[in-house]
Amino acid sequence: MHKQSLFHISKREALPLHKALLIRGGIILLSLVFCGLVTTVLTGENPFSVYGTILDGAFGTSRRLGVTFRNVAILLGISLAVTPAFKMRFWNIGAEGQVLIGCLATTACMILLGDKIPNILVILISLIAALAAGALWGFLPAFFKAKWNTNETLFTLMMNYVATQLSAFFIIVWEVPKGAGKIGIINQTTKAGWLPELGNAYMLPILVAAIMTGVIYIYMQYSKHGYEIAVVGESQRTASYAGIKVDRVIIRTMVLSGALCSLIGFILTSGVDHTLTTTIVDGRGFTAVMVSWMSKFNPFIMIAASLLLVTMDRGATEVSSSLGLNHSFADILTGIILFFIIATEFFITYKVSLRKSGKKEG
Amino acid sequence: MFDFVSFFPRAVMQGIPLLFGSTGEILTEKSGNLNLGIPGIMYVGGISGVIGAFFYEQSVGSGELNGLLAVLIPFLCSLIGSLLMGLLYCFLTVTLRSNQNVTGLAMTTFGVGVGNFFGGSLIKLTASEVPSIALGRTSIFFKTALFGETNGWFGQMFLSYGFLAYLAIIIALGASFFLNRTRPGLHLRAVGESASTADAAGINVTRYKYLSTCIGSMIAGLGGLYYVMDYANGVWSNNAFGDRGWLAIALVIFTIWRPSASIWASILFGGLYILNIYLPTGGQMALMELYKMLPYIITLLVLIVVSLRKKREDQPPASLGLSYFREER
């Protein structure tokens, strides 16, 4: 009566790191081959020339190289920012809104204070305003989660759109020229509130992301806070038996997470794009969630993961523009790579063995 | 003056895609699967229907469309497209036990990409001047009012919609009946509350999760189809669907996981979505953007109030977002 399933699935002992990395590397290669096939099927191009175009699009000229690494830095920064909360098993998918509200706060300072007080003060006040706004966006869901166990995934999701509509509101309030429905480049002539360039236009975000990588690594690995986060993530009960104030850890970590997200927002508006649109974050808040998770919350693996996704994104943009396709092609490729990586986790965590046929049990 | 009789049908037409989406997502979430891929699935449901209709219109050429086929082909294509997405989600989260949030977000990226990519490709095929595909001939069949031409305020408010709108309401009522009044519905809720308890009671957890998620995806996909074929008069333009998928997920929370409540709530959300056009803003365009924030704010408040009151029947399914593995304690 009872049908035996064909496979037996059991939990594996933890794989040694090099073996797990080898499997992941292999899967990423496989997913790239598959992406090439999909591209060939959809466009009829030779897969090797497609890869050539992808690499050319991402690294072909020094300008492209710069943009690619700057985008890596932005994505990496957001991924790092969401990591402490995830490690605590707090499913914050509101990074999109937390970054955007940082952009909005920065924009407000640049427009309202620009040219009225010294530039350095404008930048400082923008930074503080952005951090405060992001901290608030992180505090609200955390507070309700800690006090009344309100579902944080749904809460943070809604906060994204509150931030979006708030930005849309202020974009129209500050639109230039009236009726244009957009802000355009802020303080284009005076460059008030613009972050200074370090060497070239790409260096500053890269530097910030590099510092953040180190700081987050140390914070998570070697600080008391990092330890508390890990314990709360493993088991809230254990944490409270051990005398950790779970409420406080949740709120503190999310405030930090939100503030770091809006730090990236500050850099986006003040140092990179010098404008505010409702799509300035461009889904990277969501992508960062996936980057952080598939890197197992390890900051250094996140560098590689961000690089992979940004390369594919920039490359696919090049492929689609050279073949006259739609930019969304990049999203399809990103999706495919993510599916491959998501599926691999199963084979790293679990062991699948065929059942001996013929021997019917039970 | 505020003209409610003309406002109401527009609110309904805004609300129907949300109703499809939220009914699908409620069925899915009742099995404990938090499918954040719904926005992507609705895109795929929409574009699959468009592709079906496009090739049917092409194959007929300038001849007369067969009404039945013109409806059936996009309808089935849409169902198949969103079924595939649902299967992919189930395979990753149920069979391979992946993290549901990550899988869902990846599905949304992928689904929106698929929608816009194939939309873009079809636009190229038609070599038209505007960046959109117009399937007006198919749309006529979707838009035909089910009860014929009606006059008077009652007809305009309740009898003036295409068949998909009524289907959405029937599906929502059916889902509500299924969840609350039938044994499989009870089993499904048990799976969502505690998969291990359900498993111990002899319920096939995997089958329930697969079935409810796939059927939920297909229902949600119809929301995309309704949007293109009925609301947008058969015109597909990339990204036009916007963030309605997320609004559908908000609706799930707002109705506290009750499909029957979704019927009026979706119309309310639809109304809030377009209220800005009807409210006097005194030429203040900016205020319109603030009105659009209302659905999200209201949803947040409901979410908070529900968790404050701690009424047991109002809570999200207890194992929402968790994968089930029998051998784990």
Q: Is A189 on the interface with B (CB under 8 A)?
A: no
Closest CA to B292 of A88, A275, A166: A166
Most B CBs within 10 Å: which of A169, A170, A178, as the mutation test of the B interface?
A: A169
Average pLDDT over chain B reads: 87
**Chain B residue numbers touching A339 (CB-CB < 8 A):** 88, 92, 106, 110
pLDDT tens-digit profile, chain A (362 residues)? 455 567 777 777 777 777 877 888 888 889 888 888 888 887 777 778 878 888 888 888 888 888 999 999 999 999 999 999 999 988 888 999 999 999 999 999 999 988 788 888 999 999 999 999 999 999 999 999 999 888 888 899 889 999 999 999 999 888 877 777 788 888 888 888 888 877 777 888 899 999 999 999 999 999 999 999 999 988 888 888 988 899 999 999 999 999 999 999 999 998 888 889 888 888 899 999 989 988 888 899 899 999 998 988 888 888 878 777 777 888 888 888 889 988 888 888 887 777 765 444 43
CA distance linking residue B232 with residue B229, whole number of Å: 6
Read off the tokens for B165: 């709108």
| SS3 labels along A81-129 | HHHHHHHCCCCCCCHHHHHHHHHHHHHHHHHHHCCCCCHHHHHHHHHHH
**Chain A residue numbers touching B204 (CB-CB < 8 A):** none
| A1, A3, A5 from A357: Cα distances, Å | 16, 12, 10
CA distance linking residue B113 with residue B238, whole number of Å: 10
Helix (H, G, I), strand (E, B) or coil at B131: coil
pLDDT at site A360: 45
CA distance linking residue B179 with residue B191, whole number of Å: 12
Counting Cα atoms < 13 Å in the Cβ hemisphere of B229 gives 36
Which alpha helices (H) appear in chain B, and where do they start and end? 4-30, 38-60, 67-90, 100-126, 136-143, 152-158, 163-181, 183-193, 195-200, 205-226, 244-254, 259-278, 285-291, 294-309
Fold category of B4-314 in CATH:
ABC transporter involved in vitamin B12 uptake, BtuC (1.10.3470)
Cis peptide before A177 (omega within 30 of 0): yes
Contact between B221 and B48 (Cβ < 8 Å): yes
**Chain A residue numbers touching B287 (CB-CB < 8 A):** 169
Q: Is A319 on the interface with B (CB under 8 A)?
A: no
Q: Is A350 on the interface with B (CB under 8 A)?
A: yes
Helices B136-143/B67-90 angle, 10° precision = 90
Report the gap between the CA of B181 and the closest CA in chain A (Å): 27
CA distance linking residue A181 with residue A21, whole number of Å: 48
Closest CA to A299 of A53, A93, A80, A20: A80
Q: Is A93 on the interface with B (CB under 8 A)?
A: yes
Report the gap between the CA of B120 and the closest CA in chain A (Å): 6
Q: Taking CB atoms and an 8 Å limit, are B307 and A150 in contact across chains?
A: yes
Closest CA to B21 of B40, B4, B7, B6: B40
Radius of gyration of chain A (CA): 23
Collect all residues with Cβ–Cβ distance below 8 Å to A158 and sequence separation of at least 6.
Answer: B250, B296, B299, B300, B303
- Candidates A170, A283, A342; nearest CB to B92: A342
Read off the tokens for A143: 């507070």
Collect all residues with Cβ–Cβ distance below 8 Å to B217 and sequence separation of at least 6.
Answer: B24, B28, B35, B38, B41, B82, B83, B85, B86, B89
Collect all residues with Cβ–Cβ distance below 8 Å to A110 and sequence separation of at least 6.
Answer: A122, A126, A186, A187, A192, A193, A269, A270
